Chain A
């Protein structure tokens, strides 16, 4: 077992999903809210999501006011951080440029934490994001052209994702890359290359997630990678980024497999887990770790 350097493990429970286990209760929390600037619209209709993930987010289009107005209203209700997300355009970009001015005001006037989902951003977007004072920009890194084209329906290559990492680095945007294990229809394909790219552009933190089949999508019946494959990649990641926080993010198969995946994350020395399976807090404690809870996205601290 590899222990994180400070022997602390943080369990994250952002409020966009109800969560209660024997070990933590975050029902009805408003501290952290995810907002979709496009509602449930996405041009890509990826095989693995097909806009379903957007449905759990607060829809800006249904709000009578600007993004700043919405964040102000949320802050008055106790929200301390927002994740600004949305569907992508045909080039894979989440359309954030129209909201840059609002997001600057959110940071300056409300002081709440702001994260964004960027999709596959262009340089103009990365430069603008650098002026906001973001807590982080979350970006899924895909390391194989076949996955980008077949699963995401996007005319792009891994080099385009590395360009995005370079721009985010250039404009000093804290990067929170994600790697989705098994994104290529359950098979491990571009994960190693994705990790190589991330290692070349050290992020604020890295979140690993595992393919979670979503009903009524083209990948609803796809099985995730095996526990052996997942565990091996967890260990490899920890070894290649020994001083970077590595987290197990929100998405992964549920039920019994989730318990096993979460244990692998603890055993691999991950620094945090989002929505831990019941019993994992105690498992971490028995491993000599000191559990903390933050009701927000991975790596957010108040």
Chain B
């Protein structure tokens, strides 16, 4: 299986790496570190493609406890103003202030330097099973592309 799922929107090529888990509806990714037991959280490229460029990001402070599906910060993008939804529950142990200062980093380096927060998960084993894993990734990406196009969120 390829380690990256690629797709095109218009002339632009996007990728979704298979080394992490994805929120089914919110297009947030979680990369779990088995050594530290922490998960790095970011937003995936399909979600970003539907939002346009991020112009503003705020993140909750380190030490804040968040629940899965709740806000871990806010965003302002070309097509949306709203919450950044946490894909897992836990405590924020680190946040990426580089993305707060330069939100474009989330668009430009989506899976590397564009991460948002690191969370110490409270129930990774259970909640990760509710996210999209590598096995489901190709079908999920295809289905989401259809859904996003039907909604008119992407070309």
Contact = CB atoms under 8 A, between A and B. Distances in A.
Interface of A: 17-21, 27, 40, 55-59, 62, 214-215, 253-256, 258, 275, 278
22 contacts: A17-B79, A17-B80, A19-B82, A20-B81, A21-B74, A21-B81, A27-B82, A55-B155, A56-B78, A58-B152, A59-B152, A62-B152, A214-B78, A215-B52, A215-B53, A253-B55, A254-B55, A254-B56, A254-B77, A255-B76, A256-B56, A278-B81
Tell me what chain A mostly uses at the interface: helix, strand, loop, or mixed.
Answer: loop
Interface string B27-57: 0000000000000000000000000110110
A261 to B, nearest CB: 13
Nearest to B71: A20
B77 to A, nearest CB: 8
B144 interface: no
Given A20-B83, A215-B52, A215-B53, A258 B76 contact: yes
B23 to A, nearest CB: 16
Contacts of A255: 55-56, 76, 103
Contact of B81 (A19, A55, A215): A19
Among B78, B81, B83, B152, the one with the most A-chain Cβ atoms within 10 Å of its Cβ is B81
Residue of A17, A27, A258 with most chain B CB atoms under a 10 A cut-off: A17
B80 A57 contact: no
A18 B79 contact: yes
A56 B79 contact: yes
Contacts of B55: 253-255
A17 B77 CA distance: 10
Nearest to A39: B155
B76 A18 contact: no
A19 B74 CA distance: 11
Given A55-B155, A57-B152, A278-B74, A17 B56 contact: no
Nearest to A253: B55
A18 B155 contact: no
Given A40-B155, A55-B155, A215-B52, A20 B76 contact: no
B52 A18 contact: no
A209 to B, nearest CB: 14
A18 B53 contact: no
Nearest to B77: A254
A41 B89 CA distance: 44
Nearest to B150: A62
A256 B79 CA distance: 17
A192 B103 CA distance: 34
Contacts of B77: 254
A79 B77 CA distance: 24
The 7 A-B pairs at the shortest CB distance, nearest first, are namely A254-B55, A18-B80, A255-B56, A20-B82, A254-B76, A215-B53, A19-B81
Interface string B114-135: 0000000000000000000000
B99 to A, nearest CB: 13
A18 B152 contact: no
Contacts of B53: 215
Nearest to B83: A20
A164 B55 CA distance: 35
A215 B48 CA distance: 13
A48 B53 CA distance: 15
Interface in B49-100: 52-53, 55-56, 74, 76-83
A256 B83 CA distance: 17
A21 B80 CA distance: 11
A256 B80 CA distance: 16
Contacts of A21: 74, 81-82
Contacts of B74: 21, 278
A17 to B, nearest CB: 6
A215 B107 CA distance: 11
Contacts of A59: 152
A258 B81 CA distance: 12
B87 to A, nearest CB: 18
A191 B103 CA distance: 31
B102 to A, nearest CB: 11
B81 to A, nearest CB: 5
